[in-house]
Structure 1
Amino acid sequence: MERRVRLAPEPTPATREVRRKMDASGYDVLGVGFGPANLSLAIAIREDSSPLRAHFIEARNDPTWQGGMLLDGSNIQNHPSRDLVTLRNPRSRYSFLNYLFESNRLVEHLNLPAEYPLRKEYSHYIGWATRQFSDCVTFGADATAIELDRHRGAPVYVTATSDGTEYAARTLVLATGRTPYVPSVFDGPTTKTILHLTEYLYRIAELDSPPTRIAVVGGSQSGVEIVLDLARRFPAARVSQYARAHSLRLKDTSPFSEEGYFPEFTDYYYRASRDGKRILDAYMRPTNYSSSDADILHDLYNLIYEQRLDGTQRVFVEGDSEIYAVKATGEGVRLSIRDRHRGTTRHDEVDLVVLATGFRDLGPGEHQEPYPPLLAHVIENFRFDSDGYLEVDDDYSLRAIRPETPPIFLNGLCESTHGIGDAGSFSLLSLRAKRIRDGLLKSAVDIPCPDQG
């Protein structure tokens, strides 16, 4: 017969006995992915002196935050104190401010004539914090499948990795990041000259020769940044940016709109109806999607203007453009483009395509995916609502069909249930980590102890 025990900050003798018996079966918590989301959670667990035995696995051997997009001069677009910890614990030693202090750059950084830190520096900060958790992370462990199993009478998740290693845990926290969105028209061609923005710097470095005709697909901030980088990197190349909107839009940076990144908005959004969520999404999207900050829009417009003045325009913004066919040719890639309003068509022959097309959210929509692919073998144990969305509790745990199903938490994947603050932004990262940590502790209050047999 299974006994049940209660976790407490100071373990009782009975709890210690459960710990001893669970040593052979795995961890209390396994975090899959160790980017900023689960790093923030690891910090929250450590600073809380939590009794949870947590371990994390990360696919990359040497993870670099946004390594493919550490462009010269690019910044993080949010206040630096919206970091891994500060909103949750302003006294934390893992803050961006303390990183600057320990790196002997605090005074110099405060003298920078810039509103936001460089993306490169924030990447260094993430790396600095990551290295302090090497004792509870296995790097180079690429999760390939998750199964629900039983060990000595207790339900556990078994996560397999590409090298054949298996990790058992009674609770999972999935923080693998959202799946890059690649429009279906680009699914067919297999060529190294079509790449997603997440691979940008890595793949550019592997090119056999400098490209002379380049297409950037998408009207996002990242798309504009990539156009500017390509224009500097390959000054003789023709660079065309294709956007479905009429042209490039200015990001909504109103402080009233920015309150969408407050925890109060997350709670409001979570409790809204699905129709209400759609209305809120339409209002909030220009704060983060398909729009750009004024500084880079000005840089791009000035660049195009000067090229026109010199009679040598090489950078173009092509709005109202829908790419409806793609064909790999011997010399590159042939794009077929339709004007979205007039219906006219044209073609462009390029030797490099960069997809600045963003990422997939969870949901039943055309550009969404119903659940994280890694959960394919266990997803039948969880609920979907009448609209086809995964049911997620306010602590980011999936709602199980049966009460005995062990918990799974989604860290950084819940924009469709929790709103814009759960996008790939640091804005609410540390507060989300706190809520997940508290949810982990709550779910661990009654823990089935493995049988002796």
Structure 2
Amino acid sequence: MGEISRESENLPLDEESGPEPTTDQSTLIPNGSDIIYDMVCVGFGPASLAIGIALNDAIDPAINGGHTDFAPKVRFVEKQKQFAWHSGMLVPGSRMQISFIKDLATLRDPRSSFTFLSYLNHKNRLIHFTNIGTFLPARVEFEDYMRWCASRFEHVTHYGQDVEEILPGPRNTDGVVDYFTVVSRDTDTKEITSMNARKIVIAVGGKAKMPPSAPMDPLIMHSSKYCTHLPSLLNDTMKPYKIAVIGGGQSAAEIFHDLYRRYPNSQTALIFRDSALRPSDDSPFVNEIFNPGGVSKFYNMTSDERKKHIATEKATNYGVVRLELIEAIYHDIYLQRVENPDEAQWQHRILPETEIVQMERQQETSRIRIHVKSQSEKENKDSLDFDAVVVATGYQRDSHEVLLEKVCDLQPEGLSGWVSDRSYRVALDEAKVSTEAGIWLQGCNEQTHGLSDSLLSVLAVRGGEIVQSAFPNRSANADSDGSWVHASP
């Protein structure tokens, strides 16, 4: 597939935009600061990256049959200093839970130069990967694939910028808002920067969700910081630390399984409310809920039908563990049983049906004391002390509500909360906002778009849907009725 075509780069660059992009960059063009962008993406994780790739492919003449008149002014704004995808959960040996075909481009257009196979070809590993005989690459390799994709957008990405709010622009002569202002703060200098854009995409990911019983303490960390924070906190791998993991899902199980390899002399405990670790359901028919077409099917259901489906399909994603990992953990626990039938003396313990009552720092020991009670025996309470506690209790996906506080007055009258249509566009009052301006939400629409909303499975196709929704009349490869189509090979 090779590198992407650069034919579209004969367009002049703004003098302030720096050197002309190299052949390793995307076809998106950097611009000066005194402009109104066509689109600004807040957050540059996989969701925004998939949108950037879809925009790039809409410009790439190798894909769109020679169209080069579509040249949107785009900027990505990211809080992190560089692209990173769940860097705290790149547990050694962990694999992806979806096929590499569900990368950031293939299901939308396999001709894209941003496919996982293009990445392997670029890295001279294509033939070697085929010899592995798997559709599930290592998580560290898939993260490297996404960093490789992101590196080609560095010339239009502003890292180290923490977006604080989004403001409506001034009313134009028609009395409507036709652009928004993104206000961000430099994470180092604290300098405030503002950018104007007609289209805003908010894709900031989830915030770590901590249980109410967890105090603010460096010894208590969310699972998202496991690989980045725990090694510096517990820096002697041979020391007999005591470590607790709270949660019964995939992340908790991966961490628990990794701990007694990372710290072979440690004592570990996996604590969760359910009666057992439960396997995820990734069987073929059930897995079709993560097909791109499943989003429309779910969206067209009634509210009650959606709630029922989420409850029924929860075992595909929440509080469940891949079967092979459950079996590996059970095997390790079983070997302890062979050596010593007394579970209380085991080095690694699983404590199901256990509720966390309270956590606190013990000043005399500098450890975290966890007060627990058995759910089967309400009066049976106990206290356990640990050198560190890893909490794997998921994420909250409501950051957009804070970012959009100043935009609330532009919502339609009587509408409660932020409502996205099928194309992820937020409902705004047409009498107050121009049709050329809009806001799109990514990763926080599970209640209306289904369980795949915060996952990787639909990103490639969804990126194309966002591009088509934001630029319906300007996208290359758009037919007369505005639907997304591919040019003939």
Instruction: Name the aligned partner's letter for residue 371 of structure 2.
Output: S
> Structure 1 residue 222: deviation in Å?
0.8
Aligned to 2:178: 155
**Residue 376, structure 1, aligned to residue 405, structure 2:** yes
Q: Secondary structure at the match of 1:165?
A: strand
Matches within 5 A, 1:130-169: 130-150=150-170, 155-163=178-186, 164-169=192-197
What are the Cα deviations for residues 136-182 of structure 1, in whole angstroms up to 9, with x where unaligned?
11111121222222286653221222231111111100111022211
**In structure 2, do the counterparts of structure 1 residues 208 and 227 end up closer, same or farther at CA, with 3 Å as the change threshold?**
closer
Query: How far does residue 101 in structure 1 lie from its aligned partner after superposition?
Result: 0.7
Q: Secondary structure at the match of 1:146?
A: strand
Residues 1-400 of structure 1: matches in 2 within 5 Å? 24-49=34-59, 50-150=70-170, 155-163=178-186, 164-186=192-214, 189-207=215-233, 209-210=235-236, 212-311=241-340, 313-330=346-363, 331-343=366-378, 344-361=380-397, 369=398, 371-382=400-411, 390-400=418-428
Distance 1:400 1:182 in 2: 33
1:58: Cα distance to partner?
Answer: 1.0
Q: Deviations over 1:369-411 (max 9, x none)?
A: 495432233234336988x653110000111134433311012
TM-score by length of 2: 0.80
Deviations 1:97-153 (A, max 9, x none): 010011000111111154410001001100111111112111111212222222866
Cα shift readout 1:66-88 (whole Å, capped 9, x = no counterpart): 11111111011101010000010
Report if aligned partners of 1:383, 1:399 keep a CA contact under 8 Å in 2: yes
- The farther-off stretch of 167-176 and 372-381 is 372-381
Kept in 1, the 8 Å contact 2:307–2:447? The answer is no
RMSD: 2.3
Which of these residues, 445, 470, 476, is aligned with residue 440 of structure 1?
Answer: 470
Contact 2:41 2:75 in 1 (8 A): yes
* C-alpha distance in 2 between matches for 1:96 and 1:372: 34
Partner of 1:19: none
CA distance in 1, matches of 2:33, 2:256: 52
CA distance in 1, matches of 2:413, 2:376: 37
1:401 aligns with 2:429: yes
**What is the CA-CA distance between 1:208 and the residue it aligns to?**
5.1
Structure 2 CA distance for aligned equivalents of residues 103 and 160 of structure 1: 38
8 Å contact 2:202–2:400 — kept in the other structure? no
Quick check: 1:370–1:390 contact (8 Å CA) kept in 2?
no
Residue 189 of structure 2 corresponds to: none
Deviates most, 396-405 or 167-176:
396-405
* CA shift in 2, pair 1:379/1:136, >3 Å: same
Letter in 2 for 1:321: T
Number of residue pairs the alignment of both structures matches: 414
Range moving further from structure 2, 295-304 or 113-122: 113-122
> Residues 299 and 234 from structure 1, CA distance in 2 versus in 1: closer, same or farther, beyond 3 angstroms?
same
Q: Deviations over 1:427-446 (max 9, x none)?
A: 1111111111111013989x
> How far apart, in 1, do the equivalents of 2:412 and 2:420 lie?
9
Distance in 1, matches of 2:464 and 2:113, equals 16
1:278 and 1:118 mapped to 2: Cα distance?
Answer: 33
Which residue identity does 1:213 align to in structure 2? K
Greater CA drift, 42-51 or 104-113 = 42-51
CA distance in 1, matches of 2:367, 2:409: 43
Q: Aligned partners of 1:264 and 1:152: how far apart in 2?
A: 39
1:272 CA displacement: 1.2
Question: Do 2:207 and 2:399's aligned partners in 1 also have CA atoms closer than 8 Å?
Answer: no
Distance 1:403 1:215, change over 3 A: farther
User: What's the secondary structure of 1:83's corresponding residue?
Assistant: coil
Q: Distance in 1 between matches of 2:209 and 2:318?
A: 13
Q: Any unmatched runs of 5+ in structure 1?
A: 1-8, 10-21, 362-368, 446-453
The DSSP-based 3-state class of the residue aligned with 2:310 is helix
Following the alignment from structure 2 to structure 1, what is the Cα–Cα distance between the partners of residues 134 and 57?
32
How far apart, in 1, do the equivalents of 2:144 and 2:387 lie? 33
- The one-letter amino acid paired with 2:449 is H
Write the deviation string for residues 191-210 of structure 1: whole angstroms up to 9, x where unpaired.
11111111111111221554
**Match for 2:207: what amino acid?**
T
Q: Is the 1:147–1:159 Cα contact (8 Å) retained in structure 2?
A: yes
In structure 1, distance between residues paired with 2:216 and 2:456:
34
Uncovered stretches (5+) of structure 2, i.e. residues with no partner: 1-7, 9-31, 60-69, 187-191, 476-489
Aligned AA for 1:218?
G
Shift of 1:317: 1.4
| Superposed CA offset, 1:241-278 (max 9, x none) | 11111110011122111011112221111111221111
The answer to whether the Cα contact below 8 Å between 1:383 and 1:391 also exists between their aligned partners in 2 is no
